[in-house]
Amino acid sequence: MLGVCYYPEHWPETMWADDAREMAELGLKYVRIGEFAWSRLESSPGVFHFDWLDRAIETLASAGLKVIMCTPTATPPKWLIDLYPDILPVDIKTGTVRGFGSRRHCDFSSENYRRESMRISEVLAKRYGQHPAICGWQTDNEIACHDTAHSGSHNAKVAFQRWCEARYGDVDTLNSAWGNVFWSMEYQTFGQIELPMLAVTETSPAHQLAYRRFSSDMVVKFHDEMVDIIRAHAPNQFVTHNFIPMHDTQTDNFALSKKLDFVSYDNYPLGRTDLFFADAPTAQFKKYMRTGHPDFSSYAFDQSRGISNRGFWVMEQQPGPVNWARHNPRPEAGMVRLWSWQAFAHGAEAVCYFRWRQVPFAQEQMHAGIKRTDNSRAAAHQEVAQVRDELKLLAPFTEHFNGDLATLPLQAKVAIVMTTENQWVTEIERQGDSFNQHQVEFSWYSALRQLGLAVDFVSPAHDLTPYQLVIAPCMPIVSPAFVERCKATSATLVFGPRSGAKTAELSAVPNLGPGLLQQLIDVKVLSTETIRPDCYAELLLNGDQTSYQSSRWREELAPGAQVAILAKDEYQQPAVVQQGKVVYVGTLSCEGFLIALFRQLATQLGLPVWQLGSDLRTMQRGELQFVFNYGATAQQFVAPANAEFIIGSSTLQPYDVAVLRLS
């Protein structure tokens, strides 16, 4: 279940055999190769060099390793750019060309880029699609990373105009959908339509949303074509893609994953903690600086599982400091092991480390590997060896599930509904600086995890009947079909602020927020304010003496006569209301409030909750229960009476893992 990312083209061939042998000894089974190797595979148009790649695959296979082959389309070589300069994307903030010299210098609206990418993918798929050492494929690499779904090129503009024509049919429909009468923005023909960039001040929100939908569609179309090509020549090998986190994406990940066998995720808990929690108070930031927030990796794991609709892979995991965050600390000793186990607990079928050996040259020379630049073993080496040995301990307990941990069932009773589209809506129409949709969603998720509740992430198209608690932290656009799915479930439904407030074209709904959700709960949002987090109003939850905080986003709610008030603010205004099984939360709040609210709801539903404290986390898969200590001090975990420890004990040392079997 372990693997590694390897770049044979970076190292003398004399090292390959020793590398392969050592990888196998370390318990690594999968080696991902080739995702940036276009210039070494094709040195000029049609001049291919497969000899080195053949030998690299052979060397890895001889050591018993399985290869994941990648298409190299994230790095079009210089000769290709010189032949077709329109492959380069245009920055939508400045209107300037984003040049050659790094990676992802490509425009999804360039026909030349599309054609050339499919050509090299087909050449590779034909050559390696039946190769016995190759178990599967990774398409491209972190597609649309570095903000590359969006381009302001001429090609993008023409493609956007066609996309608009296909969506709206006639230009008057588009004008009315976008509200173009406002500020005389009306168009007479589709050929006049601009990209929403470089305007004097903000462009219409509907225009921006259309452009984001278009950009995402272009990426998905490109990717789908590549998957089809690989499948045509590699019918027995899996096809996956290494996704970037939902909070960073310009692509609809549900759409992107449709043709894949499963989703892979690149896990960089420290790098991403540094960026995601940039505004956190110092003490909180420092506490998790070398571990990542206890819920941050699992947040992405659970999302990946949700997009995949089955298990997922971690295709890259950080083994030490990275090079690309604002600051790049070392992980605490034990964290590489802990993150690996946490991935398995949340549904990973494999964990691959990025990268085998730290490279002494070019952009990522400060990025750690399992081995150092001088080929000595870095700290992560021994932690990976520990995971290898511990995985063997679980084998006897997974026998009736094919002997495979990945097949252990993972059934959550709580679901969070997520869409990329609603994230775009809140980015386009921010309204308050401190409204960050993903921080909202993360804080709701974290509150659930602190109660020990397992969480599935689902799309609005997903059946909601398997769940007891369904939560939509922020869902401005809801469809009539989603409302029907809500009616069909007996789950308690909790909607966060802004839910239902917008039409599909990002206008205000005609009946005030929460719009269509008024079919489920009789409440109206009369007005909205955004305020600084430190200027909060007190928030009081029924049956609870604690004073919590209402801040950042606050709605003026007008509940109907049948609606109960669960929480009020210090001005006696309703903040959280409930009708039957539907709860509407009209404010952003603090962590303590969310934990208290979810504890009340879970208890009413008979869902078991844990008293975990801030650093312990637990997750159950089948008969196995996993426990993680993210804290710097030892923690006691009170195991159920029927449990037997397979790994660790009820005292978890700092950054430690325990696995129990429940009989």
Residue ranges of the annotated binding site are: 103, 141, 324
Give the range of 45-53, 160-168, 316-324, 641-649 binding ligand GLA by CB under 6 A: 316-324
Identify how many contiguous H helices and E strands the chain contains and give both numbers: 18, 27
Q: How many CB atoms lie within 10 A of CB 362?
A: 8
DSSP E strands, 115-193: 134-138
In the bound complex, what is the minimum distance in angstroms from residue 14's beta carbon to ligand GLA?
A: 25
Query: Which amino acid appears at position 397 of this protein?
Result: F
Cα(364)–Cα(116) distance, rounded to whole angstroms?
Answer: 27
Cα(318)–Cα(335) distance, rounded to whole angstroms?
Answer: 10
Q: What distances in angstroms separate CA 531 from CA 229, 278, 306, 554, 588, one per listed residue?
A: 51, 20, 33, 8, 10
* Residues contributing to the annotated binding site for substrate: 103, 141, 324
Site for ligand GLA (CB under 6 A): which residue of 223, 293, 367, 371? 367
Select 264 or 587, whichever has its Cβ closest to ligand GLA.
Answer: 264
Best CA proximity match to 255, nearest among 231, 285, 223, 301: 223
Site for ligand GLA (CB under 6 A): which residue of 316, 441, 505, 555? 316
* Catalytic residue (one of 35, 42, 116, 142): 142
Q: How many CB atoms lie within 10 A of CB 8?
A: 24
Q: Which residue has the tokens 């148009």?
A: 45
Cα(320)–Cα(309) distance, rounded to whole angstroms?
Answer: 30
Binding mask 52-71 for ligand GLA (x = CB under 6 A): --------------------
In the bound complex, what is the minimum distance in angstroms from residue 290's beta carbon to ligand GLA?
A: 16
Residue 314 in contact with ligand GLA, rule: CB under 6 A? no
Select 102 or 547, whichever has its Cβ closest to ligand GLA.
Answer: 102
Region label for 144, one of left (φ > 0), alpha (ψ between -120 and 50) or beta (otherwise): left
CB-CB contact of 263 with 312 (8 Å): yes
* Structure-block tokens of residue 117: 């990418």
In the bound complex, what is the minimum distance in angstroms from residue 315's beta carbon to ligand GLA?
A: 8
In the bound complex, what is the minimum distance in angstroms from residue 544's beta carbon to ligand GLA?
A: 42
| Burial label, 374 (beta-carbon count in 10 A; 0-12, 13-18, 19+) | exposed
The footprint of ligand GLA on this chain (CB under 6 A) covers a number of residues equal to 10
Cis ω before 640 (30° cut-off from 0): no
Residue 223 in contact with ligand GLA, rule: CB under 6 A? no
Residue 142 in contact with ligand GLA, rule: CB under 6 A? yes
Site for ligand GLA (CB under 6 A): which residue of 246, 322, 478, 577? 322
Binding mask 112-141 for ligand GLA (x = CB under 6 A): -----------------------------x
Select 217 or 383, whichever has its Cβ closest to ligand GLA.
Answer: 383
Select 266 or 441, whichever has its Cβ closest to ligand GLA.
Answer: 266
Select 194 or 364, whichever has its Cβ closest to ligand GLA.
Answer: 364
178-185 long-range contacts (CB < 8 A, ≥24 apart) are 178/204, 178/206, 178/207, 178/210, 178/505, 179/204, 179/206, 179/507, 180/204
Residues 262-281 that bind ligand GLA (CB under 6 A): 266, 268
Select 321 or 574, whichever has its Cβ closest to ligand GLA.
Answer: 321
Binding mask 347-366 for ligand GLA (x = CB under 6 A): -------x---------x--
Select 142 or 390, whichever has its Cβ closest to ligand GLA.
Answer: 142
**Is 142 a known active-site residue?**
yes
In the bound complex, what is the minimum distance in angstroms from residue 322's beta carbon to ligand GLA?
A: 5
Positive or negative, the CA dihedral 71, 77, 82, 86 is positive
Cα angle 403, 307, 587 (rounded to 5 degrees) comes to 125
Residue 160 in contact with ligand GLA, rule: CB under 6 A? no
In the bound complex, what is the minimum distance in angstroms from residue 23's beta carbon to ligand GLA?
A: 18
Residues 562-581 that bind ligand GLA (CB under 6 A): none
Select 30 or 598, whichever has its Cβ closest to ligand GLA.
Answer: 30
Longest dimension (CA), the chain: 79
In the bound complex, what is the minimum distance in angstroms from residue 267's beta carbon to ligand GLA?
A: 9
Burial track 555-581 (b if 16+ CB lie within 10 A, e otherwise): bebebeeebeebbbbeeebbbbbbbeb
* Catalytic residue (one of 35, 316, 349, 505): 316
In the bound complex, what is the minimum distance in angstroms from residue 324's beta carbon to ligand GLA?
A: 6
Question: If residue 483 lies in a helix (H) or strand (E), which one and from where to where?
Answer: helix 480-488
Question: Which residue is nearest to ligand GLA, using beta carbons?
Answer: 266
CB-CB contact of 422 with 437 (8 Å): yes
Select 79 or 324, whichever has its Cβ closest to ligand GLA.
Answer: 324
CB-CB contact of 56 with 19 (8 Å): no
Best CA proximity match to 66, nearest among 139, 133, 138, 136: 133
Residues 485-524 that bind ligand GLA (CB under 6 A): none
In the bound complex, what is the minimum distance in angstroms from residue 266's beta carbon to ligand GLA?
A: 4
DSSP E strands, 87-207: 134-138
The residues assigned a catalytic role are: 142, 316
Binding residues for ligand GLA, per CB under 6 A?
A: 141-142, 266, 268, 316, 322, 324, 354, 364, 367
